[in-house]
């Protein structure tokens, strides 16, 4: 198997495992954000929730990270 393909497969497996291991927390934050909608650019409660998740060890990307 090509090394890059093997590394990609391992990365996908690791990501899938992390999602599975944190399923309830991920669903919970999604429901919480959905149930408390905020206007765009005024997403203070959402930002606080994301900050708490990040502080608990959940990584996240900002818009700048995706450029």
Q: What is the pLDDT of residue 1?
A: 57
Q: Look up residue 33 and give its two tokens.
A: 């954000």
Q: What is the pLDDT of residue 13?
A: 93
Residue 11 pLDDT > 80, yes or no? yes
CB contact burial 25-43 (16+ within 10 A = b; e otherwise): eeeebeeeeeeeeeeeeee
Instruction: State the total domains in the chain.
Output: 1
Chain-centre distance for alpha carbon 21: 13
Residue 37, domain extent: 3-66
Q: What is the pLDDT of residue 28?
A: 94
Q: For the chain, what percent of residues have pLDDT higher than 90? A: 49
Read off the pLDDT of residues 16-42 as tens digits, 9 standing for 90 and up: 999 999 999 999 999 999 999 999 889
Residue 12 pLDDT > 80, yes or no? yes
């Amino acid at each position: 198997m090509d090394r890059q393909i093997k590394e990609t497969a391992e990365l996908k497996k690791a990501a899938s495992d992390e999602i599975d291991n944190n399923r309830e927390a991920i669903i919970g934050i999604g429901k919480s954000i959905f149930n408390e909608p905020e206007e765009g650019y005024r997403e203070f409660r959402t930002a606080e929730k994301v900050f708490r998740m990040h502080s608990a060890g959940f990584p996240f990307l900002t818009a700048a990270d995706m450029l």
